[in-house]
Amino acid sequence: MMLRAQSAFKEFVRTDGDNLPLPGSGHTWRRFETLAKWSSKDLSVGRLVEGHADAVAILSEAGMKPIDEGLTYGVWAARSPHSGTMAERVSGGWQLTGNKEFCSGSGILDRALVTADTEDGYRIFDIALERNVAVVHEDSWPAVGMSDSMSETLGFAGPVIPDAQVVGPPDFYTSRQGFWFGASGVAACWFGGADGLVRNLVNSLPNNPNEHVLADLGLAVTALEAMRDVLKGTADAIDADPTDATGLSRYRSLVTRQVVHDAALEVLARVGSAGGARPLCHDEAQSRRAADLFVYLSQHHGGKDASELGRLAIEASMWN
């Protein structure tokens, strides 16, 4: 399974990796379409594609480039009370220690941008997996959903990371204007996963499906179109305001993620109702798509994001 995801991911890097527009470049919708396309084929691959694309965008925003051409990247920024990643200033650079969960692409990627707590703030480092990953915690990703994303818990050590591999100033990762552009890119992957489910359903239907199946399909397609419209509108808004001069990028991203999250759940329900148990039990690809999408959607912060969206809505000038 992992070899299939790795092969597809390498294909993305060869075919689309160097041509993917940066957020705010005037072609953000093409960026979102590409993320959705790969996610529609395989959502675990889409997760790896999104991580690589986000890493390149983060480096660009910091005035940096990947260490070398053709290298595959990810972004490992999960923070958890169960594990922690720290970096200490030492002679010649930084010493990275601790653990981090949800490191998608473990064993697949060449490099990753890893966040860590430091004395002067939250920093992000460009590391080589073969040099700075010391421990892969066995069975840390036993999940069926998104299994091919290899999102394992890793422990860090190894050689000192030079200052040239520090990405931006303290707290750059979360304070930069592109943080919320990237968050909308994740929603494009959710959309792609839902699109893959519906495509497979349509291809599996008999010649004359009954009215109940058609009704479920119609509602699933409606949810897809709602996702597409909000993502296209967000992409256009990013291109119209690439520096976030209006200060609305967070608001737009939270709206986008909420709409896409809820619509993708609707697709999961409608595809399951229309297809019944057979494809989820006897079609490995379709059952994997459903499990992958449910797990990936769980990345959404639910009530916390909704509460923040309500606060931002009250503050937004459009309501005054």
| pLDDT above 70: residue 71 | yes
Q: Say if residue 225 is in the same domain as residue 289.
A: yes
Q: Pick from 137, 152, 173: which residue ends a domain?
A: 173
- Domain annotation covers residue 69: no
Angle at 306 between CA 168 and CA 169, to 5 degrees: 5
Residue 318 has pLDDT above 60, yes or no: no
Question: Which domain range does residue 285 map to?
Answer: 1-62+176-315
In this prediction, residue 213 carries a pLDDT of: 93
Q: What whole-number distance in Å separates Cα of residue 205 and Cα of residue 300?
A: 31
Residue 70: per-residue pLDDT: 84
pLDDT digits (tens, 9 = 90+) for 111-149: 999 999 999 999 999 999 999 999 998 888 888 899 999
Same domain? 238 vs 273: yes
Rounded Cα–Cα distance for residues 45 and 97 (Å): 28
Query: Could you read off the pLDDT of 261-273 as tens digits, one per residue?
Result: 999 999 999 999 9
User: Does 68 map to a domain?
Assistant: no
- In the block, which residue shows the tokens 């239907």? 205
Can you give the pLDDT at residue 138? 82
Strands (E), the chain: 75-76, 85-90, 93-103, 111-118, 121-128, 133-136, 152-156
This prediction has a pTM of 0.94
* Residue 70 within any structural domain of the chain: no
| Mean per-residue pLDDT over the chain, rounded | 92
Q: How many CA atoms lie within 13 A of 56 on its CB side?
A: 20
Domain boundary at 121, 149, 173, which?
173
Structural Rg of the chain based on CA atoms: 20
The helices-and-strands tally (H runs, E runs) of the chain is 11, 7
Q: Are residues 209 and 237 in the same domain?
A: yes
pLDDT in tens, 247-302: 999 999 999 999 999 999 999 999 999 988 888 888 889 999 999 999 999 989 88
